[in-house]
Amino acid sequence: MDENQIPTKLEYYDDMFKLESTATLLSSFLSEDSRHVLIVDSTVFHPQGGGQPSDKGSISNSQFKFIVEDVRLKDKIVYHYGHFESSKDENVEKGAQVSLSVDEARRMLNSRLHSAGHLLDICVRNVGWNHLEPGKGYHFQDGPFVEYKGVVPQNELHSKKTELELEASNLISKGGKVSISIVPYDKASELCGGSLPDYIPKHSEDCSVR
């Protein structure tokens, strides 16, 4: 892989509902753990991050079909991990035009689970637990959760659990629009009550806020 490769254009920043696109294939190689990797100049695939699992789908043209099983972002470059449907397709041509297609059902579920984590944050504040600081968020399908830092009196746990459920149901029944903004760290911290989880680097230029 070319170490001087240009950053991948992240098309999901412009339109989170865009699930198909075309791109130019920049490189194809085997990773250190022997997985096939494709890098393109722009992508609609959302990488794993922020507690949310990556998209899955396919990258293809008339010569090959690559099944995308995992997506990661490192040093502003998106790595699409997966396998070719046929072993004879592995020698793909650099510079080829390819079509990208994201698994819509998986993306929508991942987005809903992630948004549910932010909804929980609102509910926690609304029931009077303003002192709790959100930590790790896990928005995977096998058991999503959000961890909080702080102390809760034992005698409040049962009643507050009921209050949280009622508050969540109330907010959901009212409906509302989920929007995402890309802002600097300081602005994101301000919008999120003055603090962000520890896993977000303080020098981050681009933080997504729902």
Among candidates 181, 199, 205, which has minimal Cα distance to 49?
199
Name the residue ranges covered by the structural domains of the chain.
Answer: 9-102, 108-178
Cα 210 from Cα 196, distance rounded (Å): 13
Q: Nearest-5° angle of CA 134, CA 135, CA 141?
A: 100
pLDDT for residue 195: 65
Q: How many CB atoms lie within 10 A of CB 29?
A: 11
Confidence band (pLDDT; 50, 70, 90) for 179?
Answer: confident
pLDDT for residue 65: 96
Residue 210: pLDDT above 70? no
Residue 124: pLDDT above 90? yes
Instruction: Give percent above pLDDT 70 in the chain.
Output: 89
Residue 209: pLDDT above 80? no
DSSP state of 159: H
Cα 121 from Cα 155, distance rounded (Å): 21
CATH match of 9-102 with 2.40.30.130: yes
Exposure letters 48-72 (e unless 16+ CB within 10 A, then b): eebbbbbbbbbbbeeebbbbbebbe
Instruction: Tell me the backbone φ, ψ of residue 158, rounded to 5 degrees.
Output: -65, -45
Query: How confident is the model over 9-30, as pLDDT tens digits?
Result: 999 888 888 999 999 999 999 9
Confidence band (pLDDT; 50, 70, 90) for 182?
Answer: confident
Torsion angle of C-alpha atoms 162, 164, 170, 173, degrees rounded to 10? -100
Q: How many CB atoms lie within 10 A of CB 1?
A: 13
Q: What is the mean pLDDT of residues 39-52?
A: 94
Confidence band (pLDDT; 50, 70, 90) for 89?
Answer: confident
Lowest mean pLDDT among 16-20, 35-39, 90-94: 90-94
Residue, of 166 and 93, whose pLDDT is higher: 166
Cα 149 from Cα 137, distance rounded (Å): 12
Cα 155 from Cα 65, distance rounded (Å): 57
Lowest mean pLDDT among 22-31, 62-71, 85-94: 85-94
Confidence band (pLDDT; 50, 70, 90) for 76?
Answer: very high
Cα 194 from Cα 80, distance rounded (Å): 34
Q: Mark out the alpha helices in 47-202 (DSSP H runs).
A: 104-126, 157-174, 185-191
Q: Nearest-5° angle of CA 193, CA 189, CA 187?
A: 120
Lowest mean pLDDT among 10-19, 96-105, 109-118, 176-185: 176-185
Stated pTM of the model: 0.80
